[in-house]
Amino acid sequence: MTRHLNVLVAESHPGLAAADVAALEAAGHTVRRCFEPGQRGFPCVAVSGDECPLDGPIDVAYLHRLQMTPRATPLEDGIRCAVRQGVPVVEHSQSLLDPFEPFVSAWVGADDLTSTLAEAAEHRFDPLCRDVLRRIGPLLAAAGISDDQVRIKVEPRHLDLEIHLELDATTDKSFDQSLAVRAFDAVRSDKRRFGNVDVHVHHRS
C-alpha cells in the first residue's frame, strides 16, 4: 500500500489537473495548490494571506501541462518555487518544448500516477544523503571506514528531520559527535528549510 503523500499540484491551464486531484484525494493523499480553482495566476494563496503550501510538508510536486506549451504559464509558478526548494517534480507526460524538462524527476505517461509520485518522493532526500556522505567522508577515511560501511537514512517528521547514520564499525562518542556536526552542516546547506533536526549514529557491529 502506498503511504500517504503531501502533493503540490499545479497545472498549466485552469481545470487541467482536476481529474488528477480527484484521483489523489480518493487514494487518501493530501493535495495542496498555489492557486484556487478557477484562478489564472497571481496572486497565489500565500500572497492572498493563506499559508504557502511549501511552508508545510510537501513530499512531491505534480505538474499537468498542455502539450506544446513552450513557456511556463502563470499557474505553474509554484513549480518554480518547488524546484528552488529541492522538491522532486513529476510531470503528467513528456512533451516537446517543455521548459520544466531539466527539472523533472519522472513522467507519469502510461504508469500509475500515485506509484510514480511515491517513487519520486521516496528519493527526495537522496541529494541530502549524498552531501552528508561527502562531508563525513574524510572522517570515515581517517578512521579506516569505507563508504560501503555506512548507511544514511532520512526520516521526515512533518517539518522536522531525523537523520540516521548506521555504521558497520565501532567508534567512540567523540567521533560520532563529529559525524553529527557534519551532517548538520549538510542540512543547513540544503535548499529546503526544516524545523528540528536530530542526528543519530548507530553501530551495526
Model confidence pLDDT, tens digit, residues 70-115:
899 999 999 999 999 889 999 998 878 899 999 999 999 766 899 9
| Cα 59 to Cα 41: distance, rounded to the nearest angstrom | 23
Q: What mean pLDDT do residues 2-25 have?
A: 92
CATH classification for the domain delimited by 126-203, as one of 3.50.50.60, 3.30.300.20, 3.40.50.150, 3.40.190.10: 3.30.300.20
Which is it for strands 30-33 and 6-11: parallel, antiparallel or unpaired? parallel
- Residue ranges per structural domain of the chain: 6-122, 126-203
Q: What mean pLDDT do residues 62-77 have?
A: 91
**64's grid cell:** 499537468
Q: Is 0.75 topped by the overall pTM?
A: yes
Do residues 84 and 91 touch, judged by C-beta distance below 8 A? no
Do residues 30 and 6 touch, judged by C-beta distance below 8 A? yes
Q: How does pLDDT run across 171-205, given as a tens digit for each residue?
A: 999 999 999 999 999 999 887 778 899 999 999 86
Q: What is the pLDDT of residue 88?
A: 94
Q: 10 Å Cβ neighbour count for 53?
A: 26
Q: Domain 6-122: give its CATH code.
A: 3.40.50
Q: Is the pLDDT of residue 1 over 60?
A: no
Paired with 161 in beta bridges are 156, 197
% residues pLDDT > 90 (the chain): 72
Paired with 62 in beta bridges are 9, 90
Instruction: Determine the distance from the C-alpha atom of residue 141 to the mean position of all C-alpha atoms in its chain, rounded to a whole number.
Output: 30
Average pLDDT, the chain: 91
Minimum mean pLDDT among 4-13, 104-113, 133-142: which range? 104-113
Q: What mean pLDDT do residues 151-166 have?
A: 91
Minimum mean pLDDT among 19-23, 94-98, 142-146, 160-164: which range? 94-98
Which amino acid does the sequence have at 86? G
Q: What mean pLDDT do residues 30-45 have?
A: 90
Q: What is the pLDDT of residue 111?
A: 63
pLDDT tier at 3, thresholds 50, 70, 90: confident
pLDDT tier at 32, thresholds 50, 70, 90: very high
Helix pair 113-122, 18-26: axis angle to 10 deg: 70
Q: 10 Å Cβ neighbour count for 87?
A: 24
Higher pLDDT, 140 or 190: 140
Q: Which of 168, 164, 158 is nearest to 132 (CA)?
A: 164
Q: What mean pLDDT do residues 56-77 have?
A: 91
Torsion of CA 44, 50, 54, 56, to 10 degrees: -170
Q: What is the pLDDT of residue 78?
A: 94
